[in-house]
Amino acid sequence: MSVRRLDPVQPVNFAFTPSNLVFAKETIAKYPQGKQASAVLPILWRAQEQNGGWVTRAAMEYVARMLDMSFIRVYEIATFYTMFQLSPVGRKAHVQVCGTTPCMLRGAEDLKEVCKRKIHSEPHHLSPDGDFSWEEVECLGACVNAPMVLIWSDTYEDLTPQTFEHVLDEMAAGRTPKPGPQNGRQFSAPEGGPLTLTDRSLYNGGAPPEPTVPLFAEPAASAPPSRAARPESAADETAPAIASPSPVKTEEAENARRKTRTRAEANATPEKTPSRVARAKKIGATSTVRQPRASEVEGAESPEKEPKT
């Protein structure tokens, strides 16, 4: 990158035109209160456009006052970003030649030779008539169409020294050549037309080929209809009915639960109940297991009471 300094010859004043002043106010209003300095880039860019393609010291001071910034902060921005020009540029074209690797490998050096021959031997100098200037810049993001140049807001791509000279000649004549690829291709499509998917049968009116295997097999005649295909009424017919609980069965279940509970109490381990162990020791019992009553034993018959005599 070249050393970026302000041009030694500077105009004294700068002020936005009424329309650019409206633009500046609208741009500033997009930012929250206290963050107006964030609008410095678009406003400085508009100042450069109004000033014929470069920013003057007076323009930087004007923008700094507008955004309530110190001059040095605007100066830092204008001298850091190479999109801001610090010296007068050509009236008809300022040519920015990409010199980064892809463009360099594809002939950027030849384009620079054209600039040196047709504009000036040194970058950042005006042509004798003041209509053209040029510089080398870093990648401009159109590497797939290398080599390329940027002139104002348009890119000219896929250049050769001959087509580049033609672009410059057109501009010198006051015409605007068509931007984009200069070798006839569309955008970054292959030169000479498509190279893949060229089989015309692929584009048979959009009709897909007949399938050789049916996509969905027909169900066998004996197979029952699938669940999804079954009509809702049929599903209702085959659905099992939910029986309500019978009161008789509920009583039987309660009796069974009661018997189970009784057996569990009979088999309970007494050692796990200290109070029962202590009670057994106190009475001198050899076993602490409570013997179930005859009525609690399943299947046991009630002893017949002896008739009183």
Task: Give the binding site for ligand FES (CB under 6 A).
Answer: 98, 100, 102-103, 139-143, 146, 148
What number of helices (H) and strands (E) belong to the chain? 10, 5
Q: How far is the CB of 66 from ligand FES (least distance, A)?
A: 34
Residues 6+ apart with CB under 8 A from 69: 37, 40, 63
Q: Which is nearer to ligand FES, 63 or 150 (CB)?
A: 150
Of residues 56 and 96, the one with the C-beta less far from ligand FES:
96
103 or 115: whose CB is closer to ligand FES?
103
CB of 181 to ligand FES, least distance (A): 13
> What CA–CA distance (Å, rounded) separates 159 from 183?
7
How far apart (Å, rounded) are the C-alpha atoms in residues 136 and 249? 98
Q: How far is the CB of 136 from ligand FES (least distance, A)?
A: 11
Distance of closest approach, residue 159 Cβ to ligand FES, in angstroms = 11
Contact 130, 90 (CB under 8 A): yes
CB nearer to ligand FES: pick between 143 and 280: 143
Evaluate whether 7 touches 53 at the Cβ level (below 8 Å): no
Q: Give the whole-angstrom CA distance, residue 93 versus residue 200.
A: 45
98 or 171: CB nearest ligand FES: 98
| Cβ partners under 8 Å of residue 257, min gap 6 | none
Structural contact between residues 158 and 78, judged by C-beta atoms closer than 8 angstroms: no
Q: How far is the CB of 134 from ligand FES (least distance, A)?
A: 15
